Amino acid sequence: MIDDPIVEEVRKIRERLLAEYGGMDGLMREFRAIEDAMRDKVVRLKPRKPTKTTPAEL
């Protein structure tokens, strides 16, 4: 397997966060709290109409 420093860094951060918040349940509670605190800052865009494509455009 190839060693990827970015993947290793992400894994270390994930493990640190899981330890800090007491596992996945605690981490998800923290994410939900952040989401609730920032609810008024979320941008919601109107859906766009789909465009038709032909096989030549794919």
57: pLDDT strictly greater than 90 = no
**pLDDT score, position 21:** 97
Torsion angle (degrees, nearest 10) of CA 39, 40, 41, 42? 60
Query: Could you tell me which of 19, 18, 37, 38 has the C-alpha nearest to residue 28?
Result: 18
Task: Write the pLDDT tens digit of every residue in 4-55.
Answer: 999 999 999 999 999 999 999 999 999 999 989 988 887 788 999 988 888 8
2: pLDDT strictly greater than 60 = yes
**Calpha distance 33→39 (Å, rounded):** 10
Q: At what angle do helices 5-21 and 24-37 cross, to 10 degrees?
A: 90
State how far the alpha carbon of 7 is from the alpha carbons of 3, 10, 19, 39, 58, in Å. Answer: 8, 5, 18, 30, 32
**pLDDT score, position 44:** 80
Report the predicted TM-score, pTM, of the whole model to 2 decimal places. 0.60
